[in-house]
Structure 1
């Protein structure tokens, strides 16, 4: 009996549980099915109007001096005086630094003395030449007399009135005179080569004198143009060697702006320059506005991010900017056809915008961000951008409200 009860009790418990579950399920009230409604986002839009627009780039550049000069010493000399200091504005030709000129002065005097000595040698050669000409003339006359005398002696010999020794003596005198005349002529012939040699020597000494005079002038270092002193590298009492930098300065009128230009804008900028278009820039240096125009691209200096450098010539500025100043600048690019201007908030991931299709749903469009579409604000709050895209159409309704989860097919509503 106990074995039967041990088997029946679990079965009864299980049967009661199943019956209770069935009873509860059949007594459950039916609830109505709740269907979720599709969310419709309210957005602002603008109508696409394809036109020619000038994009603007925000660039970062520095000022630099196109005319920058380092004046170096060509002498070994001491520094006597320093008349200009960092930041001074000397006039063209103004004295900057004076070096010890005593050694150079002595060398100039030495070369001048050597030239005077050579001049005296030339003068003596000319006197000797003139004396030789006069002497030659007299010697030739004397030779003719000796010949006449010999002729008379020979006539007397026929009459046995003169000895043979007298004839030999006369002939010897004629021979000696001829030798003397040949020597005189040789000496006269040497005059022109000797004079040319002395003149060449004088010319060489003159060049050395001019070099020493130039060295003497270089002891007084002057400004090559109206400049601003960048740095003075010497002090009074110091000694400099040839090649040492003494002072550096620059022309304030030559200040220009150099800035990195993104590679994506190079083709457009180069095309504008080739067409003769002016590419203008606006910026601020030391709280002073400046305007500049792009003059050239430095294509051989590619930077690490793939851009090249552009050089801007300043055309309007209230001050002369100092070199090495960093600035933010806005560059107006040449006009691009078939572009639209939209608020920056309408752009997603810098390459996509959304328009509303006929069913009121979002449709993505791939675009190129060409730059800002409004003048650069001093606070950096640019509001619009210029974009282009192959699928843009005139009259497209472009969504300008930035949706956090924007995607294709989202239902939207606009007024």
Structure 2
């Protein structure tokens, strides 16, 4: 009876224990029978990139320049004399051909000074000829007066001898002496007339030379007052109108030859060394202009005679196809300097910093130090010009990766 009572008292306490044992057993069974997961393997990410196979060659540095069209034969026409503009068949911007009249002053304003100067020359020449005739007459007169003087001297001597012999009066001797003195004075005057000839001739010759110079100037003014085109060109500016009265030296118009156009652009100081070296080595330096989808080559003609702190002005020839340009137009050109050997070009996206690129070898990146030589153009596209220890055919990464380092795994895309 006592055992039965104990069993009745323990039966409620065993239920939680049995549940706990059952749960533990189920947990152990589930843990023992769960599937086994394979170990996780960590793999490096592969970065897709594009590459460029390089080939070392001879290339030129390219510098973008900004220049202005100029003419080295720009002529300003001024009025040689005061007058009226009688003929003005051209306007600013007109093209003209050789031999065409450009502007002219009134004939009366040009002919009158010419005729006056011509008459002055003739008058002075006539006076010079007259002076030569007077000189010949004065010489003959001097000879005559000397003969008369000799007669007067002999007359005085004769009267003196007669007076000593009391054959003549003293008054007769005095009269002969007076006549002698008067004749001596006449001879002095005749000598002076002969001696004055040289002075008068010198004066007249100087006046004739001056008159001839004035005549030549009037002749030049006559030609300059009618401007005839010396070559094919274009009118740059017209400063007067037909019918205007202008003063001496007033500007009439300006023009230039079509084949005198050139581009003036400044080469920066940092680029001058390579330009000088290129000129000394005989390289043909040039600039390239793109205009209306056309490419034009502009050879370097010369450098300016003086340098500035910012550089030196360079002058480039313009081809015939660009004769339509006008002085003052601004142009942007690419200047090709000295050709460099053993160099290669890559896009700017391939450059890291100022002197690093990455080469792909066996799917990994390898950094290479290079020398940055500036900019060049390949098929019209700007690229960086480099020189360094990189073999021909090397695959240079041109996709710019911010996290690029040596050893980074990459995959080359087509």
Is TM (by shorter chain) over 0.5? yes
* Structure 2 residue 174 is the aligned partner of structure 1 residue 171: no
Distance 1:368 1:125, change over 3 A: same
2:189 to 180, 183, 208: 183
Note closer, same or farther for the CA distance 1:227–1:130 as it changes in structure 2 (3 Å cut).
same
Q: TM-score under structure 1 normalisation?
A: 0.77
Quick check: 2:303–2:315 contact (8 Å CA) kept in 1? yes
Question: Pairwise mapping of residues 82-93 of structure 1 onto structure 2 (< 5 A)?
Answer: 82-93=88-99
Contact kept in structure 2, 1:52 and 1:337, CA below 8 Å? yes
Can you list the C-alpha shifts for 1:277-305, whole angstroms capped at 9, x where unaligned? 112333344565432211233485658xx
Counterparts of 1:48-127 in structure 2, within 5 Å, are 48-127=54-133
The equivalent residue for 1:256 is 262
Q: Per-residue deviation at 1:364?
A: 5.7
Following the alignment from structure 1 to structure 2, what is the Cα–Cα distance between the partners of residues 266 and 240? Answer: 48
Which of 252, 266, 270 matches 2:276? 270
**What is residue 343 of structure 2 aligned with on the other side?**
339
User: Structure 1, residues 10-39: CA drift from partner, whole Å, max 9, x if none?
Assistant: xxxxxxxxxxxxxxxxxxx9x999776432
1:283 to 289, 293, 301: 289
Relative to the length of structure 2, the TM-score reads: 0.77
The residue matched to 1:153 in structure 2 has which SS?
Answer: helix
The correspondence for 1:132, drawn from 120, 138, 154, is: 138
- Which of 329-338 and 242-251 deviates more? 329-338
Q: Could you tell me which of 320, 325, 331 is aligned with 2:323?
A: 320
Residues 288/129 of structure 1: CA separation in 2 closer, same or farther (3 Å cut): same
Assess if the C-alpha contact under 8 Å between 1:281 and 1:330 holds in 2.
yes
CA RMSD of aligned residues (A): 3.5
Q: Which residue matches 2:45?
A: 39
Query: 8 Å contact 2:289–2:333 — kept in the other structure?
Result: yes
> Please, which moves more after superposition, 403-412 or 233-242?
403-412
Give the whole-Å Cα distance in 2 for the aligned partners of 1:216 and 1:282: 46
CA contact (8 A) 1:71 1:246 kept: yes
Cα distance change of structure 1 residues 128 and 56 upon mapping to structure 2, 3 Å threshold: closer
Higher deviation after alignment, 187-196 or 198-207: 198-207
Matched residues in 2 for 1:51 and 1:203: separation?
72
Report the alpha carbon displacement of residue 366 of structure 1 after superposing the two structures with TM. Answer: 5.0
Q: Would the aligned equivalents of 1:283 and 1:330 in 2 still touch at CA under 8 Å?
A: yes
Of Structure 1 and Structure 2, which has the larger fraction of its residues in strand? 2
Identify if the C-alpha distance between structure 1 residues 235 and 351 changes in structure 2 by more than 3 Å, giving closer, same or farther: farther
Which is greater in Rg? 2
Shift of 1:193: 0.8
For 2:95, what is the secondary structure of its paired residue?
Answer: coil
CA distance in 2, matches of 1:299, 1:219: 35
Aligned to 1:403: 400
Q: Alpha-carbon deviation of 1:199?
A: 1.8
For the residues of structure 2 that align with 1:155 and 1:395, how far apart are their CA atoms? 135
Structure 2 residue runs without a partner (length 5+): 1-30, 32-36
Partner of 1:3: none
Q: In 2, Cα distance between the equivalents of 1:335 and 1:387?
A: 11
Specify which of 165, 168, 180 is matched with residue 162 of structure 1: 168
In structure 1, how many angstroms separate the alpha carbons of the residues matched to 2:215 and 2:396?
83
